[in-house]
Amino acid sequence: MLTVWITGASSGIGEACACRYAEEGAKLILTSSSAERLETVASKCRGLGASGVVALPYDLTCLDGIDDLSQRAWDSFGGIDVVMLNAGISQRTNVEDTSMEMVRKIMEINYFAPVSIAKFLLPKMKERGKGRFAVTTSIAGRFGFPLRCGYSSSKFALYGFFETLQAEYHDAGIGVTIICPGRVCTNISRYALDKGGKPHGTLDPGQKNGMSSEAAAKVITRAIAKGRREVLVGRKELLMVYIKRFFPGLCACLARKIKPM
């Protein structure tokens, strides 16, 4: 029976994956910055059949407490099989309007928090001889995208860190699944940072018309179970990943013309 820790579990992909694992009878540790929304998801997961649920609300911008949070998560059920590092924040500002404060906040949540969790838990997983990190990046981590300079940078960085971790610790039984969503219908655009660091407050059309969180969770949990190295999640927008791989110049031209909202 799996024990799964999910960050960003109070909505969207995180919530949907929590529900999928609950239906399979997994033990769940759920983390989000909103204690109220998190408890709602935790109650839902208990009703769906999770064999145990622990809610650990936490603001991932507080990096000094990450080790304590990770220890509490590990101790909740005496170990963790899958750590789903899903929490994230986006933006809707061009380079000139993106303050360094905004870049740092995005990097703290999207990059430094998951890296800190992974560094803390890695020795414990090595000692057990098994464990898997499932890391939510984005197709914006595969090519630059307008109004996403900080967000895209954080997602590129995740690829570099976790691909390196996988190369170094594969033989120690540590797996990595990099989750690369395109347009999935979540609230990430509502909470994206606008000029001045205020929430964007709008569900972008691309998000609204994207794959449902439930359909995405089905793809993601299946990929994790199969030990996939990477899983692309979305619809026709995923073609850009392949265009970037084989025709980088064309990708650059297309990216300039994509409507970023």
The closest alpha carbon to 14, from 1, 44, 25, 201, belongs to: 44
Task: Give the three-class secondary structure for 231.
Answer: strand
**Tokens read off for 199:** 């929430």
Q: Which of 58, 111, 151, 191 is catalytic?
A: 151
Structure-token match 């983390």, residue found: 31
Do residues 233 and 211 make contact, with C-beta atoms less than 8 angstroms apart? yes
Helix (H) / strand (E) element for 177: namely strand 174-181
C-alpha–C-alpha distance, residues 246 and 163, integer Å: 21
**Tokens read off for 226:** 């199969």
Structure-token match 């990708």, residue found: 251
Which string of DSSP letters, residue by residue, matches 7-23? ESTTSHHHHHHHHHHHH
**Tokens read off for 92:** 């809707």
* Catalytic (active site) residue 58: no
Do residues 130 and 81 make contact, with C-beta atoms less than 8 angstroms apart? yes
Active site (catalytic) residues? 151
